[in-house]
Structure 1
Amino acid sequence: MKKAFRKIHLWLSVPFGILITLICFSGAMLVFEKEVTQWVRPQVFNVDPQGRQPLSMDEVVSRVSATLPADVRVMGVTVFDDPQKAWQLTLSKPSRASVYANPYTGEVTGRSERLPFFYTMFRLHRWLLDSRPSGDGVFWGKMVVGVSTLMFVFVLVSGIVIWWPRTKRALKNGLSIAVRKGWRRFWYDLHVGGGMYGLLLLLVMALTGLTWSFDWYRTGFYHAFGVEVKPSMGHSNAALNARQHDGGKKHRGAKDEDGRRDERLTHWQAVYDRLRQENPGASQISIADGAASVTVNHFGNVRGVDRYKFNPRTGEVTESTLYKDLDNSAKIRGWIYSVHAGSWGGWLTRVLWFLAALLGASLPLTGYYLWLKRLSAKKPQDGSRNDLPT
């Protein structure tokens, strides 16, 4: 049985190994994208309060709107709990565009843009740098990533059968990495020991990541957690983009069509003040025309938010949907992302996920090295090590 699993492990690793390395490495690079981006572009995200109070929300929107093209409107504002952070203002177009503004002066500090490195890593991780086809064509990059990830699951499982120790002593030896017994022994220990260290987390990443690749898998994954799949439960942003587009027809930014100040914006501040008072631990609060959301830092679903609706003419909150009251179907997508990215437990889990992804990227490379060395080596002498990968 172990011999058969060795063959499965080898036959899947050789053709898919490089792809697995690229997927794991690019995923590791994305773990701390937000922090690195803010570190590289501090002038965009950081502001100096200088002892001042923020301007009113409608005043900030008005000043930012004056710098935008006539056909671009401010759709909403996100305020962070850190007074030294710029506010983020969502724009009507292009899709998902936004700018950051100094809340104390109303000055635009910069656009929300992905750094070229992270944009490349994202496309590599999701689509192997392929582009989404027009129409109903096959998205080959997405398909190859999905198949490679699925094969990675089988590689990991077959690795368990091949190398999982049967005794405590063997387990201790398997988890140790020798650094003074030659390169071949070092790469072997790194391959086997690294696989053991990262096994569980790599399986979690792969099994959750597959929900972005195959509809049939996502349906089965959701069913496994007792969630009925609905048409709107995919990972597509089409519904969000449609809502933003419709909202752009209603909300005209800082002024109405006659050039007068839009009085509806005066209620954004009142709604924000109320939500901030009711949610002192909120990490960010977003306000748009008739809708608001509150995000609270906690272990778990980092995309879980409390949502509110209010009358844009009066500022009266008319409806609230708290995250804790949602059913599983409304929570699972956020949970899948949080578990896949390792963000569910804060900094600790993100560091662990980052290291595990790097280990995942190294496994095919060490495996290739050992395989090529085995091919070029002579037949082992009696008493020599015969447990190296085949």
Structure 2
Amino acid sequence: MKKIFRKIHLWLSVPFGLIISIICFSGAALVFEDEVMELCRHDLYYVKKVEATPLPIGQLVEKVTVILPDSVSVTGVSVSSDPDRAYQVSLSKPRRASIYVDQYTGEIKGKNERAAFFMFMFRTHRWLLDSMKPDGGVFWGKMIVGVSTLLFVFILITGAIIWIPRSAKALKNRLKIVMNKGWRRFWYDLHVAGGIYAIVVLLVLSLTGLTWSFSWYRSAFYKVFGVEMQQQPQHGGQQQEAKTEQKRGEGKLNGKGERADKPQNIFASWQSVYDVLSQQNPDYKQITVSNGSAKVSFDRYGNQRAADSYTFNPGNGEITDIKLYEDADTSGKIRGWIYSVHVGNWGGMFTRIITFLVTLFGATLPLTGYYLWIKRSWNKRKN
């Protein structure tokens, strides 16, 4: 029976091994993207000097709106519990665009732009540098990544079956990586023993990653947890609604022909909402206030997208509804957990380091496998 699994393991690995290495390596490169960016652009993410009191959010937003084109509007402000971190002001477009502002001086520090290296790695990891076809054609890059990841699951499982030793003595040898008996033995042990040490994490990363590749898999994955998938709203819907509301407010004129609601008045309620929520949640990690809604996240283990949601009256900042994370719908929780587990941040820095190391090692498994296969084939030809 092991011979069959050995053949399956080999003939799935040979054509897809290189793609799997690329997916794993690019994924490892993204694990510490935030830390690398903050190290390289510390002046963008952090203020120069912490003052006693930040400027009102309305005043900061006014400074941002002055430099924006008419087609772009402010959709939200994110405030960190760390007083050294600059405020992040979200924009209506392009998608996920934002500007960092020094909350003590009002200085516009710059746009939040993904570095070319990390954008390259992200597009490689998700789509092999392909892009969605405007005419709705096959998204080949995404398809190849999805198929390769799915086959990687079978490669890992068949590899584990092949690895199963026949005796306790053999088990001991299968778990050791010997470094003093030549390169071939070292690469063999690294592939076999190292693979078995990393298999659980690699399986988890593969199974969670597949939810971004195939809708049928995503539906089945959610169904395991008793959740039926619902149609997700299109991206930008909430931003467009917020933008429309903002433009409506900006368009109102008073008796003198001037705008009745200037930006600082439109967003004045945001400051009062933040003040209330920060007082009610002294252990918050970040508070994001947008048009009529707000979210409070905490620095805790588990789902890193977990947040309490609030609805407020944009006119006076009165909180009208509260939806705690523990009462949120299961699908939203699962979606957050999938992301947190896949990127490895669910357990803090420790799990992120483990994810980085295992993913990086996962990129070497096909390479060591190729080496052993070529070496074995070469020896057979010589004999």
How far 1:252 moved relative to its partner?
3.9
1:250 to 236, 245, 253: 245
- Rounded Cα–Cα distance in structure 1 between residues aligned with 2:205 and 2:86: 33
Determine if the alignment matches structure 1 residue 371 to structure 2 residue 373. Answer: yes
* Residue type at the aligned position of 2:272: A
2:262 is aligned to: 261
Q: TM-score, normalization: structure 2?
A: 0.94
1:388 is aligned to: none
- Which segment drifts farther, 247-256 or 3-12? 247-256
How far 1:118 moved relative to its partner?
0.6
1:387 is aligned to: none
How far 1:261 moved relative to its partner?
1.8
- Rounded Cα–Cα distance in structure 1 between residues aligned with 2:301 and 2:291: 30
- Rounded Cα–Cα distance in structure 1 between residues aligned with 2:241 and 2:350: 40
Determine if the alignment matches structure 1 residue 106 to structure 2 residue 102. Answer: no
Determine if the alignment matches structure 1 residue 64 to structure 2 residue 59. Answer: no
1:44 is aligned to: 44
2:211 is aligned to: 211
Contact 1:5 1:161 in 2 (8 A): yes
Q: SS in structure 2 opposite 1:78?
A: strand
- Rounded Cα–Cα distance in structure 2 between residues aligned with 1:62 and 1:201: 47
- Rounded Cα–Cα distance in structure 2 between residues aligned with 1:112 and 1:297: 22
Q: TM-score, normalization: structure 1?
A: 0.92
Determine if the alignment matches structure 1 residue 135 to structure 2 residue 130. Answer: no
- Rounded Cα–Cα distance in structure 2 between residues aligned with 1:13 and 1:204: 19
2:255 is aligned to: none
How far 1:242 moved relative to its partner?
1.5
Structure 1 unmatched ranges of 5 or more: 233-237, 382-390
Give me the identity figure in percent: 53
Contact 1:92 1:248 in 2 (8 A): yes
1:345 is aligned to: 347
How has the CA–CA distance of structure 1 residues 378 and 71 changed in structure 2, closer, same or farther, with 3 Å as cutoff? closer
Contact 2:128 2:141 in 1 (8 A): yes
1:160 is aligned to: 160
Contact 1:65 1:254 in 2 (8 A): no
Contact 1:21 1:364 in 2 (8 A): yes
Q: SS in structure 2 opposite 1:345?
A: coil
Equivalent residue runs for 1:173-212 within 5 Å: 173-212=173-212
- Rounded Cα–Cα distance in structure 2 between residues aligned with 1:22 and 1:247: 40
The Cα offsets for residues 48-89 of structure 1, whole Å up to 9 and x where unpaired, read as 334432111111111122222233221110001111111100
* Residue type at the aligned position of 2:32: F
How has the CA–CA distance of structure 1 residues 254 and 45 changed in structure 2, closer, same or farther, with 3 Å as cutoff? farther
Consecutive aligned runs of 4 or more in structure 1 exceeding 6 Å deviation: none
1:310 to 309, 312, 333: 312
- Which segment drifts farther, 46-55 or 2-11? 46-55
Contact 1:175 1:193 in 2 (8 A): yes
Give aligned pairs, total. 376
How far 1:349 moved relative to its partner?
0.8
1:55 is aligned to: 55
How far 1:92 moved relative to its partner?
1.8
Structure 2 unmatched ranges of 5 or more: 253-257
How far 1:340 moved relative to its partner?
1.2
* Residue type at the aligned position of 1:176: K
- Rounded Cα–Cα distance in structure 2 between residues aligned with 1:240 and 1:93: 11
How far 1:157 moved relative to its partner?
0.5
Contact 2:51 2:104 in 1 (8 A): no
Determine if the alignment matches structure 1 residue 290 to structure 2 residue 285. Answer: no
The Cα offsets for residues 9-65 of structure 1, whole Å up to 9 and x where unpaired, read as 110000000000000111111111111111111111011334432111111111122
- Rounded Cα–Cα distance in structure 2 between residues aligned with 1:289 and 1:213: 32
Contact 1:49 1:84 in 2 (8 A): yes
Contact 1:165 1:171 in 2 (8 A): yes
- Rounded Cα–Cα distance in structure 1 between residues aligned with 2:215 and 2:70: 41
